[in-house]
Structure 1
């Protein structure tokens, strides 16, 4: 692809240089797409290995070769790195000082698992415009989810309030919650990490409603959804066949127990494609469940294509769940919790069903509705048509992303104009 008239340099900051989840996948895919469109993406990551996709595309990568916080054998070292990553400060400062100011943007996708809040120091010192994509909520909430892992419910407490400090909401020990609170207090109060970014990207309107009140006063929020890698296989030939399935990480906050309970009430066998920390516990509690375990991407797509419907019973807010969009692309209706961002991509009663978040009874009600073959066939056709009417391809994502970049750079140029030049320009204009 030919280079654009003015190629941009984008420093993509992320904890992992490999695809470890949706956040890293979007960052890495965007780097590959930007390179393909003639720009200069530079991936700056704390933890390896380096994704093959980046190497194959010829994307520049600076990887510090560190462990992430969970992978560090020393809890003390992990706590120090997670609070203040000295190596990241030095390496990022050196990189940013070497780049052209007029055409460079720093785009941060994540910092909470390895890079730490200390990246605010070199970014601020560089004077370069910076943008943050809200894949999760660590910028605003200590545990990153506005979710109480102890009660299994969304948390409505004000982050870092007295009640927040006193509440054990972490998935691990209360001491870990206190460390996370202290880290967020440093990020917000000492280094001013949120204020480093004049611009934020939200993945959905639902997410905008969650974080809007926590953004810096003068920040600009842009809406740019994630890219989805999907093949157009055409409408499903037999949409009313197959099982209703759960796809993804089998962790408590994703709602697998809720699905299993709702299915048991109907005498339905729930099917799970994926693995996770509570998979064994789930199987012990619901021995009738069909546990297919981890599958490669092709097998996951095949399972979703042949499913009657996908159930997405997540108990927390999510960002923009890719699985929901992947199911729609395949013509599979989605049954989604009304308390998560996935509902934004499902039209209740048209391309799937909403159910009341955390309510097994209401999920059972919807699972019963999904037994109707005619309704499922209609929803399958509508899901497929809705997705492919405006598919969120990587090329479209890059177009929207670069439009945001150029808007930021144009504004930066106007703001950074010296006062004397502004005075002269005003006189000439008059």
Structure 2
């Protein structure tokens, strides 16, 4: 079939783009005709080599812009993107084509919403975050470092500053969200792919009741290395962005309470402060993927202390695949892969004392080894491979085509 993938970026700059690009490559290898439509490049060279038609608009995004004031027009309503996408979709038969939206909030803007609503080609959204429901995309209150329970666009929402930078920026997000909601994006949502059960629970109240939901796990890049051999168990590690929403400060404080040796792999706005406040912890900065895998493999446990409704943290799954148990916050979807007391532990989100108790339990070598074996065995009994991901994606495409209205001429033939 023809698949038009819509994303903000055509290069890997995070989990969302990685899944979009790896899916595109896998779908092309299965004989589908793929077009990758994005605002920001440069394009991953593997796509052109795989025969994928790549359309990059040569624009910037909200994170890369040097001036939010000059970028604001694109961020609110990216008219060039809408014009180009409309022209692209006009050339495709809705009987054998699907539009798959992975991202629009960083660069493409709500302007693509009316185009998606108007096209006859079936549209599928993957929920990497919550921008279809929440102005800041995460139901997260940055100033207080906690999940937000206000109704989007309600008076309480509009009056409260939940933005990581300023209330002015929050109001810009509110205005953009209103544009998105009332000019077509929500109306185009008929089929949604979630990557965890938590996501559907969070987002379903804000989408049309007719929406069809399918859960398709993201693929996990891992190799079956076997159970860990006997030997020294390493330190407890954190892998990711060192920032409030990731709970990095909660982990640092819990480690001090428990007297645990801990390692931070990554970087972010909290790193300098945590390094100064917690000199007993080790901070390694970002490492390449192979180094991260080796660190997770040798670790006693991975801690994933996220304090927002994270959809499906791949770090959790990669750790389990390596045979390393995971201590996970009970608010994020990472808990769905962890059986408390079996292949890891849950702790109360945002509570250093609760996390410290889990760290103390995993300090016992016998417990750590038992959970390590369970982590490895449970993951590899039913691994989340790329082929399994692609099977799920193609099934959703086929179902979307079956639901799509057929042209009158086709209905007449079958009448």
Q: Is the 8 A contact 1:133 1:202 kept in 2?
A: yes
Q: Is the 8 A contact 2:348 2:354 kept in 1?
A: yes
Q: More displaced, 48-57 or 319-328?
A: 48-57
Counterpart of 1:416 (choices 392, 406, 410) is 406
Is residue 104 of structure 2 the alignment partner of residue 111 of structure 1? yes
Q: Cα distance, 1:58 vs. partner?
A: 2.6
Deviations 1:376-413 (A, max 9, x none): 1111111111111111111111111001100110111x
Q: Is the 8 A contact 1:239 1:332 kept in 2?
A: no
Q: 1:150 to 1:239 in 2, by over 3 A?
A: farther
TM-score (norm 1): 0.94
Q: More displaced, 290-299 or 208-217?
A: 208-217
Is residue 12 of structure 2 the alignment partner of residue 12 of structure 1? no
Query: What is the CA–CA distance in structure 1 between the aligned matches of 2:116 and 2:7, rounded to whole Å?
Result: 14
Q: Cα distance, 1:239 vs. partner?
A: 7.1
Taking the TM superposition and a 5 Å limit, the aligned residue runs for 1:272-287 are 272-287=264-279
Deviations 1:70-97 (A, max 9, x none): 2223322311101110110111111111
The corresponding residue for 1:60 is 53
Counterpart of 1:238 (choices 230, 235, 239) is 230
- SS state of the match for residue 229, structure 2? coil
The corresponding residue for 1:428 is none
- SS state of the match for residue 55, structure 1? helix
The corresponding residue for 2:22 is 29
Q: Cα distance, 1:240 vs. partner?
A: 6.1
Q: 1:15 to 1:423 in 2, by over 3 A?
A: closer
Q: Is the 8 A contact 1:239 1:380 kept in 2?
A: no
TM-score (norm 2): 0.97
Is residue 375 of structure 2 the alignment partner of residue 383 of structure 1? yes
Q: Is the 8 A contact 1:111 1:117 kept in 2?
A: yes
Report how many aligned residue pairs link the two structures: 415
Q: Cα distance, 1:278 vs. partner?
A: 1.6
Counterpart of 1:86 (choices 79, 90, 93) is 79
The corresponding residue for 1:154 is 147
Q: Is the 8 A contact 1:13 1:110 kept in 2?
A: yes
Counterpart of 1:210 (choices 190, 195, 202) is 202
Q: Is the 8 A contact 2:193 2:216 kept in 1?
A: yes
Taking the TM superposition and a 5 Å limit, the aligned residue runs for 1:325-336 are 325-336=317-328
Q: Is the 8 A contact 1:239 1:377 kept in 2?
A: no
Q: 1:418 to 1:299 in 2, by over 3 A?
A: same
Is residue 115 of structure 2 the alignment partner of residue 125 of structure 1? no
Deviations 1:355-396 (A, max 9, x none): 000000000111111011111111111111111111111111
The corresponding residue for 2:162 is 169
CA-based RMSD of the aligned residues comes to: 1.5
Taking the TM superposition and a 5 Å limit, the aligned residue runs for 1:216-365 are 216-238=208-230, 241-365=233-357
Q: Is the 8 A contact 1:70 1:78 kept in 2?
A: no
The corresponding residue for 2:128 is 135
Query: What is the CA–CA distance in structure 1 between the aligned matches of 2:229 and 2:410, rounded to whole Å?
Result: 68
Query: What is the CA–CA distance in structure 1 between the aligned matches of 2:51 and 2:139, rounded to whole Å?
Result: 38
Query: What is the CA–CA distance in structure 1 between the aligned matches of 2:378 and 2:353, rounded to whole Å?
Result: 29
Query: What is the CA–CA distance in structure 1 between the aligned matches of 2:83 and 2:184, rounded to whole Å?
Result: 18
- SS state of the match for residue 181, structure 2? helix
Q: Cα distance, 1:123 vs. partner?
A: 2.0
Query: What is the CA–CA distance in structure 2 between the aligned matches of 1:86 and 1:203, rounded to whole Å?
Result: 30
Query: What is the CA–CA distance in structure 1 between the aligned matches of 2:400 and 2:45, rounded to whole Å?
Result: 31
Q: Cα distance, 1:138 vs. partner?
A: 0.9
Ranges in structure 2 where 5+ consecutive residues have no aligned partner: none
Q: Cα distance, 1:60 vs. partner?
A: 1.4
The corresponding residue for 1:48 is 41
